[in-house]
Structure 1
């Protein structure tokens, strides 16, 4: 976990305080209370970066709801395209105009950009040249490798890729200068319509683009994503888990590689077979290390990588002691250049001489300066610090059967797409709740603030029918808490605040669905909770619980920090019943 850092409140700058008696003992009982012992159950924040607690005021939320209600119904892509074709004109997006304010929050850019349509600076433009590939992607001047790494993964799943990038558009048939994309936003898929005017400098695209000069799906996808969040500058800096969720509607679980599970390779291999998106990064031990600095081994710190394959290879060495299997991971640097890992199993390293030509053919092995390289699972775990796995949920498309069988093949087709992706078991059942922390009403802070903690929203969940594939009578539950609309408000100074949740097991004598009060929380320890309150968009944790009723209490770290949230609960159990209190 990152070190704790100073935070700044709007009215004063102070360090996160050490919890004194008042804050850490949850108040001692007075008078003739029942002979119960107050619990000492202290939450801790872990800030991922220097930040401040942003206040999204209730007044703003009210105005937003009123304005949303006054907005006219938006016309869809096909309606707008038909209107343009009928009027014989090219579409101009009134919501995302071609000016400096669409690039920079302040309307100030370091050079003058010209917004041009592809046919104005490229010969014979196309949406795709021989399909979409992770090798198409080239990062431009924008620091959004966290988006590029997720898009790189997405290209390996054509079915899901074309949910995000619909096929019904291009530069030939019915071209009208209009394109559309779909992103998952807080529980629903949202269509984003744009024109094809792109920022250029000396007739060259300045942000995300394709390696092929007349291919434009990359640049248009990034523009639509920038519009979704209010401008290109809103995409500077981020976590790959955000973009993976926005591109799939899935749920991301983080693996701390500083303390990896003993079955790490098995976890990654099964995730790969499930068509999960995977990304990783290196967080240096010292915060003074500059972002995207290159280490002597060729890896880049604070930089998002995508994981494009997980497999085993047979070692056919003449020396008997060297024979066996090697567990390998293939990674892709979205820069798409020669900046690659230089250790064992890197391009042209001697380890490749120990495998047969048949194995090399199966892997589709190439040694190009394309940003893609292989590592052993041991080197991967010892050099990277975080692994994030995004499982795709059933609402996007359904799968037929289970591909976690160890005998199943993990071969890719000629385009690098996973052959097993059409045979992935529908994995999760989902519950979803939208809520808000409202000042003086439902913004009670974590349980350190015991007098207000009970005012937070509470959600009662019943788990029953334990998983069929275990013999310990436990139910798997993944709980994900997401802050809403924060990146959209970056231009107004908003930033992520530390969030988390606490889970309580309801005693048999208590009626489910009744809101728990302060007295309950004083004398009942939590059953489970997040390890830390994190200042990131989404906090996700996996639990294994006995059957029963559980109350989930999502909160900010401190009271009176307001905002909207989305709570998602995933389970592998057959049935999941719930209520909100």
Structure 2
């Protein structure tokens, strides 16, 4: 009987096999030149004593291979600054080479669309001439980077799908937090005469995860080429011999070599302006692939900053603006559906049909909101091949929609939706942008806020995750408005009112009960009757699905227009009724009403059943044009997509 060898017992991942399909997606990058040259080896066949992490932290830093994924490696340095994040992404206690439990399999976790997902891979790595050809550690015997890269490639479908991407996206995937991108070329982001990091306090400069990138070839280093991402490892203030203050930044290049020729590289003029002991100390901090630049040179040569929010040991985001911990977290999913809830930007009369959400802020505080597109889970190379500027067609992103988020403060009991949406938002993203996630940072006082995520184009479809992190208690919920397709794109006005049935007070029950008149009243006025349906009323109860009440409503015409003085009795007949009462989350009716004043009595079937509800009235109106001229933001810039990195 043939005995099974130890090598035969090792795990081989059938879902991400060691074949060309794991390497290549569409053969459109320089990676396609590797066809037929790659072999797959386990770490024990690459070196004698493989290990997951080296003893020296410096040796654990990534080193880019011939795959253009510097954006991922810059995010990986974040894990080396945060042990609890590293343990989240790569669970500790896994058996490694030389241990009795070793089976050649490793587990990783990545944050995806609102939750952590597990990815299992074997440890067969793509090699050329018995050496890993993609990312690795500075120590040739450490393999945590190569294995994480393989798991991330599996999540994206192939290694080639990692060719070009955004550092901010990888930061979010490895932390579950948020990241922001700041342009260094726009005066609005970096005001003249102010600090390079005007939004970051000194403490947060040390705690935040910061990357920088070039979109064009730097004048001081032609070798660096275009679209490359690097990491800011440190910045410090020093004084020159003549008393001038200079801010210096230590930059790390994923290539593992310096590739810089500025005034503060070794033996250059900048160091002669400092005290020799200071120069020696700062130069002694640089590791392989690191170099120093001053603030002026940095702003001149680099195009963009990416700043990742720190995460505490218990999972709370820390504000990069104030340093406060955002201890309250809410998230909710939504989608834009063509013909129903894809209303486009505020230039469109259909804007009000976009998904809408309530944010209740219990007390004032700092609030961070974001809209994350739950699109294809892969790097987006195609956009990088489109030139900036030019026709609108060149601004289209192949996978993401241009998205934005606006929010308005409203009264708790009643508000006019169209009037609100025509007013100036209390906070918003600046423009619609072709990005996976847009972030809005603000401070809000206590109260109710209406949140409207939107795409720039009307009818653009997609799923999204709305996230809220705050220093104060908040409650996030969806505003359910059941308006049929007939309404979308037409001239309609929608008004929502939140209320409650209170036992012994406003829970009067149906018309069969004498207490029916005690139910809350929701007045509205019909001013336009073009023929056909001109009014849609929806009642939604906010009760758990396992304890729904039977709900319905009646619409009464108010003879003299005075709602408060109107007497409702069994002798007064409603003009429209939504009955029989139904044990459902939401009931709705469409009708045609002549111009007049009306009132709605929402009710549970039986009296004294307490619950909260929302009544939404959609009315046909004369056409109103939004007083807004939304503009489309620039197409997203891709990182490290032009040349093969690390050759």
Q: What is the TM-score when the length of structure 2 is the normalising length?
A: 0.63
Tell me if structure 2 keeps the 8 A contact 1:85–1:176. no
1:282 aligns with 2:214: yes
Q: Corresponding residue for 1:334?
A: 254
C-alpha displacement at 1:360, in angstroms? 5.2
Alpha carbons of 1:437 and 1:86: their partners in 2 closer, same or farther (altered >3 Å)?
farther
Alpha carbons of 1:183 and 1:134: their partners in 2 closer, same or farther (altered >3 Å)?
farther
After superposition, the C-alpha distances for 1:301-323 in whole angstroms (9 at most, x for unaligned) are 321111111222344x2xxxx12
After superposition, the C-alpha distances for 1:535-574 in whole angstroms (9 at most, x for unaligned) are 12111122244443221111211122222111112223x3
C-alpha displacement at 1:120, in angstroms? 2.3
1:160 aligns with 2:85: yes
1:115 alignment partner, SS class: strand
Q: How does 1:157-556 map to 2 (within 5 A)?
A: 157-169=82-94, 170-173=96-99, 174-258=101-185, 259=187, 260-261=190-191, 262-265=194-197, 267-268=199-200, 270=202, 272=204, 275-284=207-216, 293=217, 295-297=219-221, 300-315=225-240, 317=241, 322-340=242-260, 342-356=261-275, 359=278, 363=282, 365-366=284-285, 370-394=288-312, 397=315, 426-451=325-350, 453-466=351-364, 475-488=365-378, 495-507=399-411, 510=414, 517=417, 519-520=418-419, 523-556=422-455
1:147 alignment partner, SS class: helix
> Which structure shows the bigger proportion of residues in strand conformation?
2
> Cα RMSD over matched residues?
3.4
Q: Corresponding residue for 1:127?
A: 52
Tell me if structure 2 keeps the 8 A contact 1:100–1:107. no
Looking at structure 1, the residues matched to 313 and 139 of structure 2 have their Cα atoms a distance apart, in angstroms, of 34
1:502 alignment partner, SS class: strand
Looking at structure 2, the residues matched to 432 and 268 of structure 1 have their Cα atoms a distance apart, in angstroms, of 26
Looking at structure 2, the residues matched to 183 and 483 of structure 1 have their Cα atoms a distance apart, in angstroms, of 16
Q: Corresponding residue for 1:143?
A: 68
Looking at structure 2, the residues matched to 239 and 576 of structure 1 have their Cα atoms a distance apart, in angstroms, of 30
After superposition, the C-alpha distances for 1:375-426 in whole angstroms (9 at most, x for unaligned) are 2223222332221211124475469x99999xxxxxxxxxxxxxxxxxx863
Looking at structure 2, the residues matched to 398 and 503 of structure 1 have their Cα atoms a distance apart, in angstroms, of 24
Looking at structure 2, the residues matched to 487 and 156 of structure 1 have their Cα atoms a distance apart, in angstroms, of 26
Tell me if structure 1 keeps the 8 A contact 2:72–2:170. yes
Q: Corresponding residue for 2:465?
A: 566
1:310 alignment partner, SS class: strand
Looking at structure 1, the residues matched to 380 and 246 of structure 2 have their Cα atoms a distance apart, in angstroms, of 45
Q: Corresponding residue for 1:580?
A: 478
Point out where structure 2 has 5 or more consecutive residues left out of the alignment. 383-396, 480-647
Q: What is the TM-score when the length of structure 1 is the normalising length?
A: 0.69
Point out where structure 1 has 5 or more consecutive residues left out of the alignment. 1-83, 285-292, 406-423, 467-474
After superposition, the C-alpha distances for 1:280-332 in whole angstroms (9 at most, x for unaligned) are 12334xxxxxxxx45334665321111111222344x2xxxx12543222111
Looking at structure 2, the residues matched to 271 and 499 of structure 1 have their Cα atoms a distance apart, in angstroms, of 32
Tell me if structure 2 keeps the 8 A contact 1:482–1:539. yes
Tell me if structure 1 keeps the 8 A contact 2:368–2:441. yes
